[in-house]
Each structure stands twice: as C-alpha cells, then as structure tokens.
Structure 1
Amino acid sequence: MKTVEPIVVVSGCDEAYAMPLAVTLRSVIDHLDPMQTIQLYIFDGGIAEASQQKIAESVRDERVSIAFRKIDMAMLKDVPVSGHVSAASYLRILIPSVLPKSVKRVIYLDSDLLICKNLAELWRSPLNGNAVLAAQDAAAPYIDSASTISNFHDCKHYIVSPTPVANHKALAMSPDAKYFNAGLLVIDVDHWRHEKIDEQLFSCLQEHREHVLWWDQYALNVVMYGRWGELDGRWNQGAHFHAYPSASESPFDQKAFSQLKHDPWVIHFTSALKPWHYFCPHPEAYQFQHYLSRTAWADYEPERPSDFIHLWWKHQTRTAKNKFRRRKRIIRRMFQTDERRAA
C-alpha cells in the first residue's frame, strides 16, 4: 500500500485562544481522508497545562500526531500589538527556527479558523519557487485599491484600508499588487531558513514601525513582495467579505464573489467579535458552535458582557446606516444614468 505523506500543520496561541485553536484543529481533522495523517506543531505562547491537555484531547485521532513547542515570548517583547491581538500573533515568524530541520514545508493556520475542506488539497499546491502561498485579503485587496479597482467608487465604502502598506511608494511596491491575509499560509520552510526570512521580518517591523498596520501581516506583505503565490480566495474567506453587499460593490468579479459567498473552504473570523463571544454577528458563527461541541470545551458558555446592549445596538444601527447609504447610492446612480440618457 502506498504511504500517504503526512501533512505538517503549524499553529500557535496564548491561553486566550486555546479553546478556539482546538476548534480550528478539530475542523481540520473532521475533513481529512481516512488514510491521511497529519503532524501538528503547536507553538505555546503561554497556554496553561490544563488547556494543552484539552487541546490534545480535542484532536485525539489515530491519524494525528501532536507536539507542543514552548516559546520564549521574550523574543517578541518589542513587537507592536493592539486591541484583541497579542504578541502571540507573531509566533508564525518563528517557524524556521523552532521546527526541526527535517521539516521542509508547512501549512500555517491562525487559531480563529474553520476548515471546511480536506487540507490535503492545499498541501498538494505547487509552490512554483515562491516562499509562501496565501490568499488575497478581502478587507484590503490591493496595495493601492483606489488606483487599481475599476469600480472603486462603488466599493470604497466597504474596503477597510485602501492602502494597507502606507509607505508602499517609498518601498517601490506596485500599486496594483495584491495584498494577502496571513491567517493561512503554505510556507517553504527551507526557503525561509536559507533567506533568513524571520530576521528580515523583524527588521522590517523595527524599521517601519510607524507604518505597521495589522501587525506582522504588514511585514509579511513587505518582505514577501514579489515572492508569494496566490491561492484560491476560498482558502481564506475573511469576515470582512460579508461587508460587501454584492459583486458589483466589491473588488471581486461575479464568479469569485459567488464562490467566496457560497463555497468557502476556510472561514476566517478576522473581526474583533468572535464566535466564542456572547455576541457575534458573523453569519457562520453557528458552524463554530458545531465544532466546539466536538472538543473538550463542549460545555463552554460565553459570559454575557456588561456592555452587551451597547454592542447589540451598535451593530443594529451600523447595519441600518449601511443599508440606508447603499440605497442612497443606488438612487443617485439611477438619476445619474437617466441624466446621461437624456443628454
């Protein structure tokens, strides 16, 4: 019988994301083929021993091997952090130095994903000489969206950052280059070691600290410029995708928009409100609950926040305002069309 090559998956977190990580990994396992094996490396950025045991219990399967790697977080003490993101977000930078030299290639996963497809298909993706494979970020699709997207006027209200690398001109980055999300990566670890990518990333964060947006994702896009290959967008459907009302009001064509909406292969809960919180407006939050029920945290119940009414009302008013603004733009375009026809 032919031996199936094990898939090597790396993820990591601190204690705050231990439970979501277990859910992510459970969703990976539930979509594996019966004969497919997987080697998991978990970078421990401060996971309690009890939580490590619960993660191991959540992924227990004869096809799965799991290894925890304790990380000295002092190595990340100077990295920029903010909001709901801690220094643990930077653990992926350490992949070349922490993993055994025998590991040549890995799939990196953030700890707030749901995997809806067999990762063996992603594992077989050819690198074609690229240092990393990634998917375009729906929240910031291009280095300069305003000068690149033909329908920018229609979708600019929904794009989070039209210029995610603010100093792209100084870095000689083409404005029409795509910008990727770093939550799911296929990494050529040998390439990273040979080129000392980790050192380049830390240097970039230090040198351009005042321009850093979205933490190490800024550095990854700068350092990997011209050296990354694009994955099908369905491998990383970010939460912000749902902000686009339609294909014509998005940076995607009709086919790509429909595929992302109806057939995501990976769901990425990128927003600050997560499906393990008491209130999460994400349309796929129910799927998270399904996989949660298959982990050692099956009895988890989120605590109701003291400002729940404020959060709920804020979401409702934002949704109503967005609908009103959209209708207003549609009516304006209708009148403009009629005026052009009359002229």
Structure 2
Amino acid sequence: MNVRSVPTGVAPAGTKQRLGPIVFAVDAAYAVPLATALRSVAENNQSAWPLDIHVIHEGIGEETKRLIFESLPASSAVIQWHPIATLSFASGFSTRPGVSRMTFARILLPQFLPQTCDRALYLDGDILVLTALEQLWNTDLGDAVIGAVPDYWLDSAARNGPGATGGARVKRYFNAGILLIDVAKWRNERISERSLDYLERFPTTEYSDQDALNVACDGKWKILDRAWNFQFEPMQAIAGIALEQKPAIVHFVTNVKPWKTGSLSPNVAFYDTFRSRTRFALTRWGRLQSGLKRAGSRLHARSALLRAAWSYSKAAVRTHASTSVHKAK
C-alpha cells in the first residue's frame, strides 16, 4: 500500500499551485463512500496525478486502507493516513442524529498538514467530484481564510435571526462540506481555537462544528459558485439537473445516502457507476438485497400514504354524518 508522502511546498508568486493536498475526515463506517469519492476525484483529475491525499480517520484498519487505495487507478494518488485515536476534545459537544463525531476533526485540519503547506482542499466523504478541480484550486481567495458555498437551507436563517448558529448571527452561513482553505491565514486567525471556544460556550449548537466554523470565519470567507458544493435534496436526481446548473461536486447532505442498502435516493444508479469501479463494488447478491429492500421501503411508504388517506376519508365521512344529523335536528 502506497502511503508515502509527496513534497507540499509553496508555489512561486504569480504561478498556479499544484493541486493538493486534498483532505478527508472519516471513520470506519465511511470506508465505502470514501473509496467512491476518491475514485471520482482521481478519474476527473488525471492531469494532477499523483494526487496528494490526506485522510484524517478513526478506526480504519490496515486491510480497509489497502482496499481503499486499490480502489484508485494505478499511480493516481498518494494517501497519507492520519489517525485521530480519540475525539475526547469534543466529548462534551453534541451532534445531530446520524452525524459522526468525526465531523469535529476538520476543526483541527491544519495540525495534520506540513508547515510549508499554504493551501488545502477539504472534502466531505458524502460527495462525488464530476470535473477537474484545477479551477477551484486556483481560485483567488484574496484576504479570505476560506472559500465555501452558502448552505442552501441555513444561510437565510443565520442572517435573519438566532437559530442555526446557537444564538449568534453571521453575515452569511456556509456549508462546511467543501472548503478551500488558506492554511496560513487559518493559523494566523486562530480559526481552530476560536471554533473550539465557540463550542465550549454552545456545546449543543445544532450544526456542531459547522456552526462553530461559521462564527469563527464570519466575514472572512469568500463565496464560491454553488457548482462546487451542489447540495442535493433527498429526491433530487443528478440526471435531471439542467445543463447550466451542472454540478462540479455533488454533495449528498441529507440522510438519504445513495450508497446505503435499500436507499430511496434517485441517484443510486448514478452513484454506483463510481462505486462499481472500486474494491467495494456491490456483488450481484448485494444488488438484489438492496433492490428488494428498496422495493419494500417504497411499498411501506405507499401503504403509509394509503393508510393516511383512508383515515382522512373516514374522518371526513364522520364529520359529514355529524353535520347531517345536526342539520336534521
């Protein structure tokens, strides 16, 4: 397994920087989506091979690391694995149901990169990259610490009043799943320390580290085109997106994940085109199981709808009968 590092230096002034490092933070439960996301990155960025990949992780064993690495095209990437043995620093912080505590690891991201690293791209594990990342990587951040895309659902609420940020208001609210980071500015602005300070004050803030990062970076981030973090709703299909909205990075932000067995996501087949080229490809039996579970879930949802309609009809009949009797009197 290739886990050696590659030099990450500072590009001369006025020149484009080499793509990378690209950083992920996942636990063992995200082995399949990590391998799939990495495959999508590698296939769409061949001019940048070997890619400089860093994975902050908890609980990913050596055999799983090998399978993830072997899921990539030969010579396409160098992976450095950074174990974070415990998230004890975040033991008092809460997360939303279904969200891994590894979400807090991205707050510490610069600690896992060389001091000579001046820029990094952070990607969540629940994404697919559909184009070359060079344009994103070479975005001029100006004085901003990070580049990010506004959160489709939380941006307005965060600007207009308390709620998404534990009571604090921010100028704009970004989704932290894709972050282009000026690492030097991050360190100088003490973003990690300020984020942790916020979490100490608001340990139950609804969106965990994302709230904290928004407060720490308030007024210090650049808005990127939404194509670089296209946040999919549960029943929104990639194939149905208009050409002018074609996403560069798709982000499956809800709990309806396309890799889950029996998922009702309309993007299951699209996602599987990448997964099928990894060492975690579904077997014929796995596809059958998933298909049967998906059919069962649809039938259950349809039955629930029928039950609700039937209950509504019975209530309407009772109301009508009651009204008729009242009029008769």
TM-score of the superposition, structure 1-length normalised?
Answer: 0.74
Q: Which runs of 5+ in 1 are unaligned?
A: 149-161, 245-256, 321-343
Secondary structure at 2:222 match in 1:
strand
Secondary structure at 1:142 match in 2:
helix
Please say if 1:227 is aligned against 2:210: no
Deviation of residue 51 (structure 1)? 1.1
Deviation of residue 20 (structure 1)? 0.5
Please say if 1:196 is aligned against 2:185: no
Q: Distance in 1 between matches of 2:32 and 2:273?
A: 13
Partner of 2:105: 91
Q: Distance in 1 between matches of 2:182 and 2:151?
A: 21
Please say if 1:10 is aligned against 2:23: yes
Partner of 1:52: 65
Kindly indicate whether the alpha-carbon contact (under 8 Å) linking 1:45 and 1:91 is maintained by their aligned counterparts in 2. no
Instruction: Map 1:1-343; keep pairs closer than 5 Å.
Output: 5-34=18-47, 36-73=49-86, 74-144=88-158, 163-168=163-168, 171=169, 173=170, 177-210=171-204, 212-240=205-233, 262-299=245-282, 301=286, 311-312=297-298
Deviation of residue 58 (structure 1)? 1.2
Identity %: 28
Deviation of residue 91 (structure 1)? 1.6
Deviation of residue 164 (structure 1)? 2.0
Secondary structure at 2:198 match in 1:
helix
Deviation of residue 275 (structure 1)? 0.9
Deviation of residue 307 (structure 1)? 8.6
Query: If you compute each CA radius of gyration, which structure gives the higher value, 1 or 2?
Result: 2
Match of 1:216, as an amino acid?
D
With 269-278 and 311-320 compared, the bigger mean Cα shift is at: 311-320
Alpha-carbon distance change, 259 to 229 in structure 1, aligned in 2, over 3 angstroms? farther
Kindly indicate whether the alpha-carbon contact (under 8 Å) linking 1:143 and 1:165 is maintained by their aligned counterparts in 2. no
Deviation of residue 314 (structure 1)? 6.7
Match of 1:41, as an amino acid?
H
Deviation of residue 311 (structure 1)? 4.5
Alpha-carbon distance change, 299 to 307 in structure 1, aligned in 2, over 3 angstroms? closer
Deviation of residue 80 (structure 1)? 1.4
Q: Distance in 2 between matches of 1:309 and 1:267?
A: 25
Q: How many residues align?
A: 285
Match of 1:263, as an amino acid?
K
Match of 2:176, as an amino acid?
A
Q: Which runs of 5+ in 2 are unaligned?
A: 1-14, 307-329
Alpha-carbon distance change, 311 to 207 in structure 1, aligned in 2, over 3 angstroms? farther
